[in-house]
Amino acid sequence: MKSRDNKYTVITGSSSGIGYATAIAFAKRDKNLIVITRRKEKLEALKQEIASINANVEVVIKVCDLSSATNAHSLFDDLENYFIETWINNAGFGHYGSVKDQDLDKIETMLHLNIEALTILSTRYVSKY
């Protein structure tokens, strides 16, 4: 950590689906990982699976609800000392249905996660690197 010799790949939303599979694929390519979601136990399971596949890879777990802009900023601040070579904004969800039937709270959460956090993290990443 804290050196350009130790590079990390960040994957948000790595506790399931595409993010989980991406984490495994990067670990197989010897990439150290910083994995981020709300469910810590899923990330612990991912870390265990990666250890059995490639013991040379470091897996750093960060628990964060990215549907809050404040949390997104705090997360980026928290990663200050890691040299991040790749940042993958994967956390998100989709929602389908008639507009009249929508749960607006859920839609707002989706916008915060899929758009606001993604924009904050991408902009800060590009600005720093």
Ligand X SMILES: NC(=O)c1ccc[n+]([C@@H]2O[C@H](COP(=O)([O-])OP(=O)(O)OC[C@H]3O[C@@H](n4cnc5c(N)ncnc54)[C@H](OP(=O)(O)O)[C@@H]3O)[C@@H](O)[C@H]2O)c1
Binding span for ligand X by CB under 6 A among 1-9, 37-45, 79-87, 96-104: 37-45
List, in sequence order, every beta strand (DSSP E) within the chain. Answer: 7-12, 32-37, 59-63, 83-88
We find the least distance from the C-beta atom of residue 99 to ligand X, in angstroms, to be 19
Number of C-alpha atoms within 13 angstroms, CB side, residue 55?
Answer: 1
Interactions with ligand X, residue window 76-95 (CB under 6 A) = 90-94
Closest distance to ligand X from the beta carbon of 90 (Å): 5
Dist CA 53 CA 39 (whole Å): 22
- Asked whether position 39 contacts ligand X by CB under 6 A, the answer is yes
Q: Least CB distance from residue 87 to ligand X, whole Å?
A: 14
**Dihedral of CA 108/19/72/126: which sign?**
negative
Which stretches of the chain bind ligand X, using CB under 6 A? Answer: 13-19, 37-39, 42, 64-67, 90-94, 113
